[in-house]
Structure 1
Amino acid sequence: MGVGAEVVGLTKSFGEQTVWSDVSLTVPAGDITVLLGPSGTGKSVFLKTLIGLLRPDCGQVFIDGRELTAMREKQLYEIRKRCGVLFQDGALFGSMTVYDNIAFPLREHTRKTEAEIRRIVAGRLELVGMTGDEDKLPSEISGGMRKRAGLARALVMNPELILCDEPDSGLDPVRTAFLGKLIADLNAETGATFLIVTHDINTARTLPDHIGMLYRGELIAFDDRENILASTEPVVRQFLAAGLDGPIGMAEERDAEETAEAQR
């Protein structure tokens, strides 16, 4: 069963640039949550902060009720072992086969025998539909297959919380739909909690139980999917409609100025 995550009053800056401030939300255990927002709103930074790879300026992060921001590295390591991460490009080691990439966390963080590792890796390969591809290098498989291999690696430690950073980046609509279906099936089978950063509107409309949206340094919406899809909030409505009319402009940092100018 998955574990829940909660952030309270979270703020993160780099130098004088505030990425987002006073963000509070709860990622329910066992559900799929999607985080939306225009480019440059710090969604990937949020994922890294959630599992302690980045430290917030202020606020608290809880995973399974345990507060992370004051933890030492050894304690964070134990928490991270309960999490799986799928990076945008799959983040596979180019010199390793698909099998060795998926086996890597088990060899690095457990004392399992090679026979046990072989059984677990085979199971994860079957889950993501890649049985028979284990001896291939990342350069020998498609982008969609690299994403699936990355997902298999994220699952190999039986994580209770899985973070996916734009898993559909670079994929065509059909393969994006297949990946979404795979995530839904894995969620149903494993009960793990999924938090997914995406720009894909169809994914947001069909996959999650809950949707949040970051815009101009704030969490402007977080609710059940049905309520977000019916939202009248201008930014949410424009983003989900992929429309030109609304507060979001071409350059994120100039959106507010352009909108104010247009209203004069």
Structure 2
Amino acid sequence: MMALLSGEMRKLLRQPGALFFGFFGIVFLTITFKIGLEAIAVWRMGRMPTGSIDLYLSAAKAMSISGNTLGHLLYAIGIGTVFATEYRYATWRLLVPRHSRLQLYGAKFLVCLVALAASLLVAGLGDMLVNLTRAALEGQGAVVSLAASSASRLVLAFMAALLELAVLAAFVGLITTVFRSMMPAIILAFLLILGSSMVHLYLGSDADALPLPSYGAEFLRSFIVSGDSTAQAGFGAISLLVWLALLFLGGAACFQRQQLTSE
């Protein structure tokens, strides 16, 4: 299994465009946007805004990129690239006879999780770096906080964001396997998050009862950052875990029965 994982990781590293734009593009866009907002604030006020900066809590809020619509689109491109490589170059027939199909599918999924986790870590570290730079520019007027309670929130926010993105990876893996192409997966992943937002706008609070992944992730984020309803957070966590299991097993089952002699 380790040989499969290292092989899949090498394939991804040899596609720097897909690696950067698919897994880290939204991170750098978010950091750039935050820097731009800070610059606008300085330009409007004529000085650096002062106040307390909670590094861990701010980084926890940065984990919300996992629910960003543009982020889902870019992540879907990166994940789809991992799952579609063998279909694109017709190399499955070289791998299937030597390894079990579950291991092959699982290796691709785990590589996606590693890349997604790295993306979230870069998002958190980038947010901290921006805040530390801001504090250094403020000078003595800045108060940097490193509360232990906020550190635990950061860990929970990271886990919740990774769980949400794992569901996305399982969904993209399933659709890519079914259609043997990444394009349908990218389109459907984008339409899914966009449709979830439109349903919530139309139904309002009534939509909260729907066990959709985006709603479950939002419940978790609200609980971690703001201390909202524990019951809703539990419902969100369970719904995400169920979706993850169903989508991953569905993709693995489809791949298990797929004809790959000419792929």
| TM-score normalised over the length of structure 2 | 0.24
**Comparing both structures, which one devotes a greater share of its residues to helix?**
2
**Comparing both structures, which one devotes a greater share of its residues to strand?**
1
Larger radius of gyration: 2
